[in-house]
Amino acid sequence: MAVRIASDGGSRTGDRLTVGVAARLSQYLRVLTQARKMGKDRISSQEISEYTNINATQIRRDLSAFGKFGKRGVGYNIDSLIAEIRKILRTQGQHNIALFGAGRLGQAIASSTIFADHGFNIAGAFDNDPAKVGEPIGGTTISGYDELRELIREKNIIVAVLAVPPDAAQQVADEVVDAGVKIIFNYTEALLDVPHDVAVHTTSPAVELLYALYFYLT
């Protein structure tokens, strides 16, 4: 467990990060990972700011609460900053996740590097179409829903990604929750009812557009 620190400017309460800080650190990680992929070695708070729309002072403030990771006049070394943030977020290892739905969206997800880039390994994929069961998808094979419980337990999966039709989403959510999943990433527009100890994250591109449009229109 982490060391309890009394005064840190609000980034931690007790030994837990605040929601805001954890969200921002994750954003920095996205930019750093991609910048490294593009061959960059170091980056300034100003550059991170341009890609995240988070104020540069806020970024330096967030980071300096945990140590002096930068070099004045130079910026931050990307490799070491990634390592530091991973340490802070305690997400250094690999995590197995399960994908539900092997349609166009599911296939697009499985063949992209968006999850793998951040240490998430698609360890199981499920579809209710018998014709798809046994077919390869990404680095794994499509399974039927009858193998769900066993695979989730065996691979120690706590994250489920839902890429099923919206009218099937609640049923799949019920099944994965029952099998022990604690975090659901919902690509459908369905509103999911889950127990309080399960977290649901729903992507809603249209919502983000609505709000971007407001600032364009005004």
What residues make contact with DNA under the rule CB under 7 A?
Answer: 9-11, 13, 18-21, 24, 44-46, 54-58, 60-61, 63-64, 68-76
Closest CB to DNA among 61 and 149? Answer: 61
131 binds, among its own copies, DNA, none (CB under 5 to 8 A by kind): none
Contact partners, residue 87, CB within 8 Å, separation at least 6: none
Please report, as residue ranges, which positions from 121 to 150 form the binding site for its own copies (by CB under 8 A): none
Q: Which amino acid type is present at position 43?
A: I
61 binds, among DNA, its own copies, none (CB under 5 to 8 A by kind): DNA
Per DSSP bridges, beta strands 75-77 and 42-43 are antiparallel
Residue linked to tokens 């039927």: 144
Exposed/middle/buried for residue 4 (C-beta within 10 Å: 0-12, 13-18, 19+): exposed
| 3-state DSSP assignment of residue 177 | helix
Per DSSP bridges, beta strands 140-143 and 136-137 are antiparallel
91 binds, among DNA, its own copies, none (CB under 5 to 8 A by kind): its own copies
69 binds, among its own copies, DNA, none (CB under 5 to 8 A by kind): DNA
107 binds, among DNA, its own copies, none (CB under 5 to 8 A by kind): its own copies
Are 63 and 70 contacting, i.e. CB atoms less than 8 angstroms apart? yes
Q: Does 182 bind its own copies (CB under 8 A)?
A: yes
* 187-218 burial code (b ≥16 CB/10 A, e <16): bbebebebeeebeeebeeeeeeeeeeeeeeee
d(Cα 144, Cα 126) in Å, to the nearest integer? 6
- From the list 96, 103, 99, 89, the residue with the least C-alpha distance to 29 is 89
Q: Does 215 bind its own copies (CB under 8 A)?
A: yes
124: which 2 tokens? 């199981």
Q: Does 162 bind its own copies (CB under 8 A)?
A: no
Residue linked to tokens 């046994």: 134
46 binds, among DNA, its own copies, none (CB under 5 to 8 A by kind): DNA
Binding mask 68-107 for its own copies (x = CB under 8 A): ---------------------xxx---x-x-----xxx-x
Q: Which residues bind its own copies (CB under 8 A)?
A: 15-17, 19, 22-23, 25-27, 29-31, 34-35, 38, 51, 89-91, 95, 97, 103-105, 107-108, 111-115, 117-118, 120, 158-159, 161, 166, 182-183, 185, 189-191, 199, 201-218
